[in-house]
């Protein structure tokens, strides 16, 4: 990953309390896994931002190295990597995600 890509990702991650690197955007997810994350966050009714990795190859490849996680989507809360679709589903089903999101938004 180039230093420029790392800086761009750093800025995105730290400027948004809830950020999803995904295929597509929250209005039009381009894969089922990204759609799962969007549906969960919409159900929680929280504000969040998305980055469409399909529009930027450098971000698409760089985010995998940045998080040391091989798949998309990737969710960040308050600058901390949470995981992808399966982890979000698990946290949501256990009732843990709502609290994590509230803490992120309150800080």
**CA distance linking residue 100 with residue 104, whole number of Å:** 6
Domain locations along the chain: 3-106
Show the tokens assigned to 68. Answer: 């040391």
- Of 71, 73, 52, 57, nearest to 5 by C-alpha is 57
Contacts of 35 (CB under 8 A, 6+ apart): 29
Whether the CB-CB separation of 20 and 74 falls below 8 Å is answered with yes
Predicted TM-score of the model (pTM): 0.94
What tens digit of pLDDT does each residue of 76-97 get?
A: 999 999 999 999 999 999 999 9
pLDDT, position 107: 83
Report whether 78 contacts 107 (CB < 8 A). Answer: yes
Tens digits of residue pLDDT in 39-60: 999 999 999 999 999 999 999 9
CATH class of 3-106: alpha beta
């Amino acid at each position: 990953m180039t230093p420029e890509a790392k800086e761009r990702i750093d800025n995105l991650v730290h400027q948004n309390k809830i950020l999803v690197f995904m295929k597509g955007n929250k209005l039009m997810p381009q894969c089922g896994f990204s759609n799962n994350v969007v549906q969960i966050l919409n159900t929680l009714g929280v504000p969040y931002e998305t980055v469409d990795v399909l529009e930027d190859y450098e971000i698409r490849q760089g985010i995998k190295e940045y998080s040391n996680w091989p798949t998309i989507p990737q969710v960040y809360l308050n600058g901390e990597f949470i995981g992808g679709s399966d982890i979000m589903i698990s946290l949501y089903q256990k009732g843990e995600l709502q609290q994590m999101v509230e803490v992120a938004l309150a800080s």
